[in-house]
């Protein structure tokens, strides 16, 4: 069993980005990332803090707009439009989830697609499906980078994606299809999940259910990518896979934490760098 080390790979990507930033600065270009966070969700604030630290490490200009959960939709839209017009900002990220009174789809659609470094705008999602140049959603893009780093070919592989969200499951399936994998998507309405996972060469799961994928649901030698992150009552962080037992049958597996999570931020930094470089040209 080989452990896929997302922390190590993300560090490698960050180091490469930092070098590129050093080369851009003499040309007057400093990549800029703006984040909007609404409310007091502890997990969201943790993620935003991690993104801020990552920006600092690679030399980005970053700004965080912290807003109360009583904010109106129009006020958020006004802030986004201000950042759309700010030449120092290359990437705009709205931390999800948003409060219930905010229409998330409408908010994401306001972001200029050229600054949509999270890859959630329908323009970028559509281009991902068409296998055209686009900002791909960061978590699925990070998973693809892991496969490349570990020389895991996706061509012809049977891949089971567990979860069909717009943020992970759907774009993950599109990126896998672009790599010529055979993709099955399962979700909450799937009748017999294990009948799909047992046949898969690769299982990718991200639904937020601790230990959903168990040893008897995985065939020998399968590759298992765990995108889930859950905090147990004990305070321990775990994924959606019963790591201790599934790892015994896997050829490759990602840990939680230290697997896909760091790669999500690395891809956010990469997308922002790409946006900054397009500004330079």
Q: Which residues are catalytic?
A: 51, 95, 118
Do 224 and 259 contact (CB within 8 A), yes or no? Answer: no
Show the beta-strand stretches assigned E in 68-201.
Answer: 91-94, 158-162, 182-186
Phi first, then psi, for residue 49 (nearest 5°) are -60, -40
Residue 180 falls in which region: left (phi positive, over 0), alpha (psi -120 to 50) or beta: left
The dihedral formed by the CA atoms of 249, 157, 228 and 243, expressed in degrees to the nearest 10: 10
Cα 169 to the chain's mean position, in Å?
11
Q: With CA atoms as reference, report the closest residue to 276 among 53, 9, 62.
A: 62
Which residue shows structure tokens 């047992």?
198
DSSP state of 62: E
For residue 80 the two structure tokens come to 């986004």
Helix, strand or coil, per DSSP, at residue 29: coil
């Amino acid at each position: 069993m080989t452990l896929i080390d997302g922390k190590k790979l993300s560090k490698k990507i960050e180091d490469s980005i930092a070098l590129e930033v050093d080369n851009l600065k003499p040309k007057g270009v400093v990549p800029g990332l703006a984040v909007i966070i609404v409310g007091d969700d502890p997990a969201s604030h943790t993620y935003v803090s991690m993104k801020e630290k990552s920006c600092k490490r690679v030399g980005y200009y970053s700004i965080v707009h912290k807003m109360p959960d009583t904010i109106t939709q129009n006020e958020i839209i006004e802030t986004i439009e201000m950042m759309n017009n700010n030449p120092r900002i290359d990437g705009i990220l709205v931390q999800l989830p948003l409060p219930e009174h905010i229409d998330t789809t409408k908010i994401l659609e306001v972001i200029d697609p050229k600054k949509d470094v999270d890859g959630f705008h329908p323009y970028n999602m559509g281009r991902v499906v068409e296998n055209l140049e686009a900002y791909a959603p960061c978590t699925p893009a990070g998973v693809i980078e892991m496969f490349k780093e570990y020389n895991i070919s996706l061509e012809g592989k049977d891949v089971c994606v567990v979860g069909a969200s717009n943020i992970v499951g759907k774009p993950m399936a599109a990126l896998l299809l672009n790599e010529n994998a055979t993709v099955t998507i399962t979700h909450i309405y799937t009748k017999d999940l294990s009948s799909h996972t047992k046949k898969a060469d690769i299982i990718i799961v991200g639904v937020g259910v601790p230990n959903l994928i168990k040893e008897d649901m995985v065939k020998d030698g399968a590759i298992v990518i765990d995108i889930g992150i859950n905090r147990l009552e004990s305070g321990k962080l775990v994924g959606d896979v019963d790591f201790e037992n599934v790892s015994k049958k896997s050829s490759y597996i990602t840990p939680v934490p230290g697997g896909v999570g760091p790669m999500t931020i690395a891809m956010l930094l990469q997308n922002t760098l790409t946006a900054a470089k397009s500004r330079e040209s």
